[in-house]
């Protein structure tokens, strides 16, 4: 039976962020994820988790200067010191929130830049993150982002992500397998579930192409959930979608699984 985590950055947006923990628990969720925790003290977020009997299962390392167009620094040559400071900052939150997985974002490759140099920088920084997090039993995740959502991101395909995991060569580095991005780039999600089994530690879902509740669009999610059961997937599935309306009104799809 799949285990679902509410993405509090995208769901329950009709409420202030700190009130979304209670809303998620009230809707039947046992776990949450979100993009970034850094606007709030880690101890405050940990208290919200405890109060609502929720588990934090994922968040992202800092993204850099988003207003300046950054979306992660781990692949950016010359920014290694900043990237590693962000990794250390994420670790403090992960320990306080008892979070088993942290996604470290690569960043964007500017036009005319040497892609291979960015790739090598990314591998070095993810090895640093993996070695740093391993001492605390925490997994490092990397995620392929589709060009439709994040143009010029370092990698967009699940196959590229798998090649990077192999090159990084650390036992606690895994793919963050987002079905929405994967369908836009690779397709054949059922095949990827099988061929990449063991190399992804977290899954995210949304309808394709609209990124709403997973009860519409191109993907047959009940069938995909059954495939995950068939291969024995034990990780969480993050609901990283934009509700069509009020979040609770769109949760009919999840009731059989809670």
Whole-number Å distance between alpha carbons of 113 and 20: 41
Whole-number Å distance between alpha carbons of 11 and 231: 28
Catalytic residue among 14, 33, 240, 246: 240
Burial class (CB in 10 A: 0-12, 13-18, 19+), 210: middle
Q: 163: number of CA atoms within 13 Å, CB side?
A: 10
Residue 257 carries which DSSP code? Answer: G
Catalytic residue among 43, 120, 143, 218: 143
Tell me whether residue 240 is one of the annotated catalytic residues.
Answer: yes
CB atoms within 10 A of CB 227: 17
Pick from 105, 112, 95, 104: nearest CA to 70: 105
Contact partners, residue 98, CB within 8 Å, separation at least 6: 46, 55, 56
Q: From residue 181, give the alpha-carbon distance in Å to each of 78, 127, 187, 240.
A: 29, 24, 9, 11
Entry field: residues in the chain: 258
The residues annotated as belonging to the active site are: 143, 240
């Amino acid at each position: 039976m799949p285990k679902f985590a509410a993405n509090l950055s995208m769901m329950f947006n009709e409420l202030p962020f700190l009130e979304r923990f209670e809303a998620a628990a009230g809707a039947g969720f046992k776990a949450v994820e979100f993009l970034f925790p850094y606007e709030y003290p880690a101890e405050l977020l940990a208290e919200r988790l405890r109060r609502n009997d929720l588990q934090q299962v994922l968040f992202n390392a800092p993204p850099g200067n988003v207003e300046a167009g950054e979306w992660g620094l781990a692949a950016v040559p010359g920014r290694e010191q900043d990237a590693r400071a962000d990794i250390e900052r994420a670790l403090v939150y992960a320990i306080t929130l008892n979070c088993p997985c942290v996604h470290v974002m690569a960043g964007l490759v500017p036009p005319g830049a040497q892609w291979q140099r960015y790739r090598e920088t990314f591998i070095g920084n993810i090895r640093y993150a993996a070695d740093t997090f391993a001492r605390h039993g925490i997994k490092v995740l990397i995620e392929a982002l589709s060009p439709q959502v994040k143009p010029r991101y370092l990698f967009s395909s699940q196959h590229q992500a798998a090649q990077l995991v192999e090159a990084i060569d650390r036992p606690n580095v895994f793919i963050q397998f987002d079905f929405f991005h994967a369908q836009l780039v690779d397709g054949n999600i059922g095949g990827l579930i099988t061929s990449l089994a063991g190399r992804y530690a977290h899954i995210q879902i949304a309808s394709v192409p609209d990124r709403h509740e997973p009860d519409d669009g191109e993907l047959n999610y009940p069938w995909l959930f059954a495939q995950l059961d068939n291969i024995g997937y034990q990780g969480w599935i993050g609901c990283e979608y934009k509700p069509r309306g009020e979040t609770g009104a769109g949760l009919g799809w999840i009731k059989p699984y809670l």
